């Protein structure tokens, strides 16, 4: 009995497709060729053979395969469509259009081909024609959300009203999601048009002055599983949205955004605090704590207190960030003192345990920046003795007492810290035990394994090292993690689209040096930013490096090697780097240009340097603070830094030095404050000084890393003559907008080939 030739061919094609999907390209190719030899009219085998060639990077060969196939099968619409896609991929747009139109003449019902032709026409800026093709596709497949989405994009390009099309795409996406099976519900590709439609609706609403509507669209996208891009959009939109009252429905998502670090914690905490302060319970507690006759019992028994301390957004802010609002700091300081002074039986304070644990971790994170009175100091000493004695005599210790003590003193610094660590505590204390005992112990263990690449001999380097051993910098708890990593050229094009390609192969390993890496936030960001990157991150401070190593391990990042070294002695390294990322470091050297020269020598010809330097104009607001410090003669101990903070807060609001309270987040953490205005060594740059340094070092300026708003303002200021690599123009712009580089000059330069 003879077999069915058609069935046999289908089986062989299925076998070839399975091999291709498994990555067995040679096997799949052999099967496809054998099938074509026995049956030249087997369109699927031709298509598979072209797909294998294209996947292996041989697109031109794939095109030739499809042309040969069409010679055998000139009426096969799928082959014409595939050829159109490959021709479009290689930029041969007119040829691609011919084959798409051939496919539609053969099979007018092919909605995918109509959409492919629409995309091709849009690439040629023929947006009206593209819109027509997308409408054809939509009429052929009215249930598909992707077609009204594409119509909306074409309308946007023509500056026409796209909102109805995006609304239709979103509604179709909702309907599809409701009827989808479990695998489809969690499939990014299945839901992509739905998510994109919501993103477009959000962008339209935001630009038209309806930020809360924009936020609602992004909230829907995030809740429905849109992923990290939508999460970042939601968080950024939230930060830019002014609120006039509480929004309780946002709190769970904001708490998640903080815990998962959708964007930089400081930005999110700042915006979340503004929303939190609109809560009636928080407002009532702020008023109550400001009353001159406020007592511990009165604060804790206030009818609003239990609502306030249970607020999920407040707990998230305390656990995941650093509070940078003085009114909230004042309330927290008063609540801490009230808990310390409370005469209630300890079990009556159990409803405050979660809050007190979060408050203790907030104090640990800001290095106990909150003010402390002499009376509090005496009470804390007594509490410390009671807890220690109870532990030593195996008596029961109230969890609330451990949490209150940890809100005033870091548990890991207590001589009897191991007695606390050895106890079994309820789960509610777990965040506290982890933050204040286990994590510091891990850092101590890691510090012993960090290699020393160079000695630290320079006198200035030694003083800087001492500062950062005492106050590791910067303080951070969470940092954003990126799902996608970019090649160097992809990253350059995203941020500096006017620059020519680097000339590097996208898959080539990228050697990255991060000198002065501190506690690792920049190094971790770089490791997640670039594909195929190998990082060496060095710093003077072993304490900072140990923190960085712990965080890197927690995030399961394996491509960073940490080492202790002085930038000035790195020249002895034989290794060279494609990227040197040095943020906020050179201005702390005795001779910044000398350090920059060392790093330049370590950069390969054609390599890039990502630098960050203090701006003279950008730090002008700190001049009154420096004068205030000089007048009062503050030192740099923790007690002296707290005294400085108290004295600043006591100033009249019109005093120029007091502006630091609202203008600089670094005021709210002792290590950040010390780095900001008490640094042992600091230089400030101007754009002219940067230009001089680049000339001395023979480096090419590529541009400043700035947000879209500033780049747009720069373009508008200089019009057609705007040149993003003109330091002269940027100098003029900064003179007119002195806050432009308040954070720092973030610049990219290149070492010539």
Residue 2 pLDDT: 45
Answer yes or no: are the C-beta atoms of 330 and 290 closer than 8 Å.
Answer: yes
Q: 329-365 burial string, b = 16+ CB within 10 Å, else e?
A: bbbbbbbbbbbbebeeeeeebeebbbbbbbbbbbbbb
Residue 295 pLDDT: 63
Answer yes or no: are the C-beta atoms of 676 and 622 closer than 8 Å.
Answer: yes
Of 321, 356, 279, nearest in space to 665 by CA: 321
Overall fold of domain 459-613: Rossmann fold (3.40.50)
Per-residue DSSP letter, 435? I
SS3 state at 667: helix
DSSP element (H, E) containing 176: helix 163-179
Per-residue DSSP letter, 533? E
Sign of the C-alpha dihedral computed for residues 491, 493, 495 and 500 taken in this order: positive
Under 8 Å CB-to-CB from 662, ≥6 apart: which residues? Answer: 326
SS3 state at 573: coil
Q: Is 748 exposed, middle or buried (0-12, 13-18, 19+ CB in 10 A)?
A: buried
Residue 297 pLDDT: 64
Q: Which residues of the chain have pLDDT under 70?
A: 1-6, 185-186, 188, 293-297
**Residue 252 CB neighbours (<10 A):** 13
Under 8 Å CB-to-CB from 427, ≥6 apart: which residues? Answer: none
Under 8 Å CB-to-CB from 318, ≥6 apart: which residues? Answer: 332, 355, 358, 359, 361, 362
* Continuous H helices in 407-458: 417-421, 430-433, 439-447
* Exposure of 566 in the CB half-sphere (CA atoms within 13 A): 20
* Continuous H helices in 573-686: 592-602, 623-632, 638-650, 660-663, 670-677
Residue 1 pLDDT: 38
Is the bond into 220 cis (omega within 30 degrees of 0)? no
Q: Is 161 exposed, middle or buried (0-12, 13-18, 19+ CB in 10 A)?
A: exposed
Distance CA 83, CA 105 (A): 15
Distance CA 461, CA 681 (A): 9
Distance CA 282, CA 251 (A): 14
Place of tokens 């089986």: 11
**Residue 284 CB neighbours (<10 A):** 16
Domain boundaries, the chain: 249-445, 459-613, 620-677, 687-750
DSSP per-residue string spanning 207-246: HTT-HHHHHHHHHHHHHTT--HHHHHHHHHHHHT---SS-
CA gyration radius for the chain?
A: 31
SS3 state at 141: coil
């Amino acid at each position: 009995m003879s077999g069915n030739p058609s069935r046999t061919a289908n089986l062989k094609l299925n076998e070839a497709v399975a091999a291709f999907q498994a990555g067995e390209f040679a096997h799949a190719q052999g099967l496809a060729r054998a099938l074509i030899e026995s049956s030249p009219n087997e369109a699927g085998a031709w298509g598979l053979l072209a797909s294998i060639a294209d996947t292996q990077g041989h697109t031109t060969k794939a095109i030739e395969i499809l042309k040969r196939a069409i010679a055998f099968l000139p009426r096969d619409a799928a082959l014409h469509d595939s050829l159109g896609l490959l021709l479009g991929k290689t930029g041969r747009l007119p040829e691609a259009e011919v084959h798409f139109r051939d496919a539609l003449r053969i099979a007018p019902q092919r909605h995918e081909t109509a959409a492919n032709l629409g995309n091709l026409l849009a690439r040629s800026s023929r947006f009206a024609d593209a819109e027509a093709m997308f409408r054809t596709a939509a009429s052929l497949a009215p249930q598909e959300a992707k077609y009204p989405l594409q119509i909306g994009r074409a309308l946007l390009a023509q500056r026409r009203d796209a909102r109805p099309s995006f609304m239709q795409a979103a509604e179709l996406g909702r309907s599809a999601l409701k009827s989808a099976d479990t695998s489809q519900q969690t499939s990014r590709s299945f839901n992509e048009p739905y998510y994109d439609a919501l993103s477009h609706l959000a962008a339209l609403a935001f630009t038209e002055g309806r930020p809360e509507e924009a936020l609602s669209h992004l909230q829907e996208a995030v809740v429905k599983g849109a992923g990290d891009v939508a999460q970042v959009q939601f968080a950024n939109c939230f930060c830019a949205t002014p609120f006039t009252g509480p929004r309780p429905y946002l709190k769970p998502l904001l708490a998640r955004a903080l815990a998962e670090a959708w964007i930089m914690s400081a930005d999110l905490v700042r915006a979340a605090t503004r929303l939190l302060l609109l809560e009636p319970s928080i407002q009532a507690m702020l008023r109550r704590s400001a009353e001159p006759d406020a007592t511990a019992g009165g604060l804790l028994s206030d009818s609003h207190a239990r609502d306030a301390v249970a607020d999920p957004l407040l707990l998230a802010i305390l656990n995941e960030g650093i509070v940078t609002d003085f009114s909230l700091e004042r309330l927290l300081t008063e609540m801490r003192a009230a808990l310390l002074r409370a005469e209630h039986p300890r079990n009556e304070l159990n409803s405050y345990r979660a809050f007190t644990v979060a408050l203790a971790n907030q104090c640990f994170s800001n290095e106990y920046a909150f003010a402390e009175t002499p009376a509090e100091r005496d009470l804390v000493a007594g509490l410390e003795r009671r807890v220690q004695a109870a532990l030593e005599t195996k008596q029961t210790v109230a969890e609330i007492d451990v949490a209150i003590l940890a809100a005033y003193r870091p548990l890991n610094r207590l001589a009897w810290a191991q007695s606390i660590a050895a106890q079994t505590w309820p789960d509610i204390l777990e965040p506290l035990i982890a933050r204040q005992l286990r994590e510091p112990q891990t850092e101590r263990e890691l510090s012993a394994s960090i290699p020393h690449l160079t000695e630290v001999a320079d006198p200035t380097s030694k003083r800087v090292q001492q500062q950062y051993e005492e106050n590791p910098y910067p303080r951070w708890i969470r940092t954003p993690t990126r799902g996608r990593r970019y090649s160097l050229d992809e990253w350059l094009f995203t941020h500096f689209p006017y620059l020519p390609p680097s000339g590097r192969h996208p898959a080539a390993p990228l050697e990255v040096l991060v000198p002065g890496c501190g506690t690792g936030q920049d190094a971790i960001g770089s490791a997640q930013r670039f594909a195929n990157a190998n990082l060496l991150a060095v710093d003077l401070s072993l304490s900072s490096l140990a923190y960085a190593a712990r965080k890197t391990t927690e995030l399961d990042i394996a491509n960073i090697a940490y080492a202790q070294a002085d930038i000035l002695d790195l020249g002895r390294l034989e290794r060279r780097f494609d990227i040197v990322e040095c943020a906020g470091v050179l201005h702390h050297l005795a001779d910044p240009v000398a350090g920059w020269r060392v790093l330049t020598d370590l950069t390969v010809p054609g390599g890039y340097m990502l630098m960050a330097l203090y701006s003279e104009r950008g730090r002008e607001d700190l001049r009154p603070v420096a004068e205030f410090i000089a007048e009062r003669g503050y030192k740099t101990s923790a007690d002296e830094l707290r005294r400085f903070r108290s004295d600043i807060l006591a100033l009249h609001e019109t005093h120029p030095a007091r502006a630091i309270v609202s203008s600089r987040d670094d005021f709210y953490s002792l290590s950040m404050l010390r780095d900001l205005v008490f640094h042992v060594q600091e230089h400030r740059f101007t754009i002219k000084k940067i230009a001089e340094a680049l000339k001395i070092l023979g480096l090419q300026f590529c541009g400043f890393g700035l947000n879209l708003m500033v780049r747009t303002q720069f373009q508008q200021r200089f019009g057609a003559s705007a040149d993003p690599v003109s330091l002269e123009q940027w100098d003029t712009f900064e003179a007119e907008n002195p806050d432009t580089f308040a954070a720092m000059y973030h610049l990219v330069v290149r070492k010539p080939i």
